[in-house]
């Protein structure tokens, strides 16, 4: 790398304070978070965003429909993009992931490939290599995060991984869980972004984006609490999102769609126990994100085979 990294401190008095690679304008760009399941992408995202959920907004019908979050800092704006679809079970993971990731890459300025640095993470090397290659083919700057370094006792074990990914623009060991290395990661991202104005106003939370956040949060809880095919047969649609200014709270009414009666039984649980847990966990998470009390009301609806047709997908709220 020939460019010096900018220092991510507004008044820190660093030498390249206003010289940033000779650029003195505001930068803004899209950063795709890539990686196979369980490497820690969501944990990293939460860590990057902190508690400040600046914006989450869907843009249906574009490959940017999974904007996960926007980080606005003194240097500019990082728009984090999800690589959707990794929850899809029944297609070959490789093909599916790659296809989804490609759609996101088309929009990205930077690809952050998260890999699991523990021995567990060695299995998916081929998928990861493939993702990295595609990013490079598209001229997208590749940054590799070696995650979970807190769980690697002997740091020498990281050396082969550093070596393996030495073709990347940067390799950053991190612990998304504890936060180590995450500032170094953003330090590597800033110089890869093009100059330009911010894409989003950080304060401009739209009702639409919050509905989407609510639906995703509920869906996540279904995911965490059900098994086998159930998570994949689930979609969540927020019917009502009501901000009650007088009470300072938010009321969310959502439908959880499944494809079969048996799945409904599982999601509802014995005596309604599971749906209650899902609602409570979603309420807690959303209260934290939104910074106010949240009430969550859920209903489970069977919509046979919704995931198998475009019409079905539209009915549960997706734009296929």
* Edge-to-edge order in the sheet of strand 76-81: 67-73, 76-81, 27-34, 110-116, 141-147, 170-173
Quote the CA–CA distance of 118 and 149 in Å, as a whole number: 7
**Site membership for ligand GDP, residue 93 (CB under 6 A):** no
Quote the CA–CA distance of 305 and 320 in Å, as a whole number: 14
Closest residue by Cα to residue 254 from 195, 211, 197 = 211
Residue 269 region by backbone torsions, left for phi larger than 0, else alpha for psi between -120 and 50, else beta = left
Please say which residue, 42 or 118, places its beta carbon nearer to Mg ion: 42
Closest residue by Cα to residue 127 from 220, 37, 63 = 37
**Site membership for ligand GDP, residue 175 (CB under 6 A):** yes
Q: Does residue 122 sit in helix, strand or coil?
A: helix
Please say which residue, 43 or 57, places its beta carbon nearer to ligand GDP: 43
**Site membership for ligand GDP, residue 151 (CB under 6 A):** yes
Q: Tell me which of ligand GDP, Mg ion, none is bound by residue 176, counting a contact when its beta carbon lies within the kind-specific cut-off of 5 to 8 angstroms.
A: ligand GDP
| Residue in 8, 42, 157, 307 binding Mg ion, rule: CB under 5 A | 42
Give the contacts of 90 (CB within 8 A, at least 6 positions apart): 232
**Site membership for ligand GDP, residue 43 (CB under 6 A):** yes
Please say which residue, 41 or 274, places its beta carbon nearer to Mg ion: 41
Quote the CA–CA distance of 145 and 175 in Å, as a whole number: 9
Residue least distant from Mg ion (Cβ): 42
Contact yes or no for 174/180 (Cβ under 8 A)? yes
**Site membership for ligand GDP, residue 219 (CB under 6 A):** no
Please say which residue, 37 or 73, places its beta carbon nearer to ligand GDP: 37
**Site membership for ligand GDP, residue 40 (CB under 6 A):** yes
Please say which residue, 98 or 176, places its beta carbon nearer to ligand GDP: 176
**Site membership for ligand GDP, residue 157 (CB under 6 A):** no
| Residue in 42, 157, 186, 307 binding ligand GDP, rule: CB under 6 A | 42
Contact yes or no for 116/38 (Cβ under 8 A)? yes
Contact yes or no for 125/135 (Cβ under 8 A)? no
- Least separation in angstroms between residue 251's CB and ligand GDP is 28
Binding span for ligand GDP by CB under 6 A among 77-85, 122-130, 174-182, 302-310? 174-182
DSSP E strand boundaries for the chain: 27-34, 67-73, 76-81, 110-116, 141-147, 170-173, 235-244, 249-258, 294-302
**How many CB atoms sit inside 10 A of residue 204's CB?**
11
- Least separation in angstroms between residue 35's CB and Mg ion is 9
Please say which residue, 10 or 37, places its beta carbon nearer to ligand GDP: 37
Q: Tell me which of Mg ion, ligand GDP, none is bound by residue 134, counting a contact when its beta carbon lies within the kind-specific cut-off of 5 to 8 angstroms.
A: none
Q: Tell me which of ligand GDP, Mg ion, none is bound by residue 40, counting a contact when its beta carbon lies within the kind-specific cut-off of 5 to 8 angstroms.
A: ligand GDP
Residues forming contacts to Mg ion in the complex (CB under 5 A) are: 41-42
Residues forming contacts to ligand GDP in the complex (CB under 6 A) are: 35, 37-43, 147-148, 150-151, 175-177
């Amino acid at each position: 790398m020939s460019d010096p990294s900018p220092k991510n401190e507004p008044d820190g008095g660093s030498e390249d304070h206003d010289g940033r690679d000779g650029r003195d304008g505001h930068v803004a760009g899209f950063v795709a978070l890539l990686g196979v399941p369980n490497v820690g992408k969501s944990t990293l995202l939460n860590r990057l965003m902190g508690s400040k959920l600046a914006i989450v907004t869907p843009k249906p019908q574009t490959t940017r429909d999974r904007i996960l979050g926007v980080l606005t800092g003194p240097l500019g704006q990082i728009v984090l993009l999800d690589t959707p679809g990794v929850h899809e079970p029944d297609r070959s993971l490789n093909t599916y992931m790659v296809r989804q990731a490609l759609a996101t890459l088309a929009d990205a300025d930077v690809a952050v490939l998260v890999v699991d640095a523990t021995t567990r993470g060695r299995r998916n090397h081929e998928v990861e290599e493939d993702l990295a290659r595609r990013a490079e083919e598209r001229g997208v700057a590749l940054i590799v995060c070696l995650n979970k370094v807190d769980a690697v006792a002997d740091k020498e074990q990281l050396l082969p991984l550093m070596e393996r990914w030495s073709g990347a623009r940067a390799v950053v060991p991190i612990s998304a869980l504890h936060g180590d290395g995450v500032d170094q990661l953003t330090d590597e991202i800033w110089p890869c972004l093009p100059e330009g104005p911010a894409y989003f106003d950080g304060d401009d939370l739209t009702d639409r984006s919050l509905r989407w956040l609510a639906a995703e949060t509920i869906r996540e809880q279904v995911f965490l609490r059900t098994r086998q095919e159930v998570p994949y047969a689930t979609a969540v649609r927020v019917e009502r999102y009501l901000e009650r200014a007088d009470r300072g709270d938010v009321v969310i009414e959502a439908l959880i769609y499944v494809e079969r009666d048996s799945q409904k039984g599982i999601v509802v649980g014995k005596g309604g126990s599971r749906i209650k847990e899902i609602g409570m966990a979603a309420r807690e998470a959303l209260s934290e994100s939104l910074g106010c009390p949240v009430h969550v009301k859920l209903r489970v609806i069977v919509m046979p085979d919704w995931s198998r047709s475009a019409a079905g997908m539209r009915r549960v709220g997706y734009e296929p």
